[in-house]
Structure 1
Amino acid sequence: MDRPREPAVDARLLALVGLATLLSIGHHVDHLIRGNHVGWPVTPAVNAFTFSLGVYPVIATGLLLTLRGRAGARYWFAVAAGGLGLLGAIHLGPWAIEPPGDIIGPYAPSPVGYLAFAWLLALLAVLCLTVVVAAAAWRSRSPA
């Protein structure tokens, strides 16, 4: 028995997913440039960096499922909310394993460190907006 197809995903939501993906790639490149908190496959260590690379197969799978009508706003809500929670905890939470100083410091005294941190904040903001847009889309397609 075939599952019913989910309604098409709003172009705004897909644009936010695309923007979040680009910002995520940029944040991973920043890790490589500053050389701290980098793990496998760049170094032998397996750490948060290693596991964070798992977001790209999740995004690719989501895009494929979205194109096939098998995933929609709920999927993107979960992905964005999960990313927002993890990134926030890793970088900004009280137990942050990579606090803002670890992003800004390696570039000191250059303002590039502040740009790298602003990039992270932009990623968090886009993920937050993605959560809101996905939740609204999900809610509008659900029976009241």
Structure 2
Amino acid sequence: MGRRGSESVDGRLYGLIVLSTVFGIGHHVDHVVRGNHVGWPLIPEITPFTYTLAIYPFLAAGLYLTLTERAGAGYWAVLLGAIFALVTVTHFGPWATEPPGDVVGPYESALAGYAAFAWLLGLVGALLVATCYSVLRWRRVA
């Protein structure tokens, strides 16, 4: 029989959530370092950057709900999938508002720019793996 609720979240999924969060924080720090596509609280304007900071309370709430046995892999599948979609659409494809050139270009050093881009790819990869794994764990519940 499948595992229910918070029991569907195992050590691997916790690890993928932490890894994705570390990559996310690093990417937000990269925005600040390169100085483009930032918003409140760093500048007075509310921008998409501002809205993406809302990801962290959802992550914290998810951890709390999971640890108190009120949420499981389904919560993580939906949240991580939404974050993956948001990051991917924002940075890649025809509707990208922050294409790879906006990540690499502001750096004086090409090495630093490509390191920031590699970090972004790490974020996307971690989110993809975390999303797929959480879906797998969620499906095992059903």
**Runs (4+) off by over 3 Å:** none
Amino acid at match of 2:79: V
Structure 1: gaps of 5 or more residues = none
2:49 aligns with: 49
1:93 aligns with: 93
1:65 aligns with: 65
Question: Residue 85 of structure 2: SS of its match in structure 1?
Answer: helix
Q: Does 1:121 align with 2:135?
A: no
TM-score, normalised via structure 2 length: 0.94
Structure 2: gaps of 5 or more residues = none
Q: CA deviation at 1:45?
A: 1.0
Q: CA deviation at 1:141?
A: 1.1
Provide the rounded CA distance (Å) in 1 between the counterparts of 2:29 and 2:85: 21
Amino acid at match of 2:110: S
Q: CA deviation at 1:108?
A: 3.5
Provide the rounded CA distance (Å) in 2 between the counterparts of 1:61 and 1:26: 20
Q: Does 1:6 align with 2:8?
A: no
1:104 aligns with: 104
Moved more, 105-114 or 89-98: 105-114
Provide the rounded CA distance (Å) in 2 between the counterparts of 1:11 and 1:30: 28
Amino acid at match of 1:6: G
Percent sequence identity over aligned pairs: 49
Question: Residue 111 of structure 1: SS of its match in structure 2?
Answer: helix
Q: CA deviation at 1:131?
A: 1.1
Provide the rounded CA distance (Å) in 1 between the counterparts of 2:114 and 2:6: 41
Amino acid at match of 2:98: E
1:132 aligns with: 132
2:141 aligns with: 141
Q: CA deviation at 1:89?
A: 0.6
TM-score, normalised via structure 1 length: 0.93
2:75 aligns with: 75
Provide the rounded CA distance (Å) in 1 between the counterparts of 2:120 and 2:63: 23
Report which structure shows greater RCO (CA 8 Å, sep ≥6).
2
